[in-house]
Amino acid sequence: MVSASLTLWAAPPLAAGSWRNRLLALALMLFAFSCLAVGSQQNGATPVLERSVKAAFLYKFLGYMEFPSDPGPTLVVGVLGADEVAAQLAQISSGRSVGNRSISVRKLSEGDALGGLNLLFVGSDASLPEAALRAAEKNGTVTVTEQDDGLQIGSVINFRLVDERVRFEVSLPAAERCNVRLSSRLLSVAYYVQKGGQ
């Protein structure tokens, strides 16, 4: 059942003109993932299912973001402090596109330049997540984290485990700071949306 859900989740987006179908597909996929327990962590290792779910979310997030300027023919996703998520995302996005743009995944190390990224995932193994988020924000890069205080330290989207299920929360002020517009369809399925003044 899990592999079938992941295959559905990683399928390419439907035609742009069928927004109702896209909304329904997103809602169904998010519901399916929210029903999958990711299991407890053992020996500090992140379960395989959790990594796969987060990678699938990252892939789908790109289709629900409107960047202020044309990002060109390729959307570049950087992954810092989560090598397994980078590998899963590269596998999911291989040969697929978002709209008419291909996807490139860059596995990053501490201290690497963050320029040229459209999306940056800062995993729990990153030693200085706040510094990476500040640098990314200066470049107008959308950031995603998996920290308890992810939104408080400046992330646009933050993964949370709620009842052993992967959910995500969104900060609209952080999205405004990096000048990206998030689809209302994405916001409607978020676990929590932080609005201005919160």
Scan for tokens 């896209």, then name that residue: 22
Asked whether 138 and 173 are in contact (CB, 8 A), the reply is no
Cβ within 8 Å of residue 149, ≥6 positions away: none
Structure confidence by residue, pLDDT tens digits, 34-78 = 544 444 444 444 578 899 999 999 999 999 999 877 778 899 999
**Complete domains list, the chain, with CATH:** 2-38+46-194 (3.40.50.2300)
Asked whether 120 and 114 are in contact (CB, 8 A), the reply is yes
Asked whether 137 and 161 are in contact (CB, 8 A), the reply is no
Mean pLDDT for the chain?
82
Q: Which of 62-71, 151-160, 175-184 has the lowest mean pLDDT?
A: 62-71
Task: Name the pairing type of β-strands 165-171 and 157-162.
Answer: antiparallel
- In this structure, what DSSP letter does residue 43 have? T
Note the Cα 20 to chain centre separation in Å.
22
- Sort 198 into a burial class: Cβ within 10 Å, 0-12 / 13-18 / 19+: exposed
